[in-house]
Amino acid sequence: MNWQLQEAKNRLSEVVKAAKTKGPQVITVRGKEEVAVISMDELRKLRPQKESLYEFLRNSPMRGANLKIERSREIEDRDIDL
């Protein structure tokens, strides 16, 4: 549903309730869609938790594939400018 900004301000609890039960609520400013109010569940779906590299690799479908990764020894010393 679309809400004009002033109406959304005056009826914020209704906007929040509707976002939780009916889905995203769009707020307009001067007739232009500007923002949406969404439930935390919807936000979590859109922005999944970040996982560490360890967790990513641990949950990878390639886990246990016996990959052998070796460092190249072609370059012995590297100069690094700090």
What per-residue confidence (pLDDT) applies to 75?
67
Q: Is there a domain that residue 12 lies in?
A: yes
Query: By C-alpha distance, which of 24, 27, 25 is closest to 7?
Result: 27
Q: Is there a domain that residue 17 lies in?
A: yes
Q: Is there a domain that residue 33 lies in?
A: yes
Query: By C-alpha distance, which of 8, 13, 36, 38 is closest to 23?
Result: 38
Q: φ and ψ at 46, to 5 degrees?
A: -80, -30
Task: Tell me the C-alpha distance between 22 and 14, whole Å.
Answer: 11
Q: Is there a domain that residue 80 lies in?
A: no
Q: Is there a domain that residue 66 lies in?
A: no
What per-residue confidence (pLDDT) applies to 54?
82
Element (H, E) at 78: none
From first to last of the 82 residues of the chain, give the pLDDT tens digit.
899 999 999 999 999 999 999 999 999 999 999 999 999 999 988 887 787 888 877 787 776 677 777 777 776 666 777 7
pTM score = 0.59
**Which range marks the domain in which residue 16 is found?**
2-58
- Pair 25, 19: CB distance under 8 Å: yes
Domain containing residue 43: CATH number = 3.40.1620.10
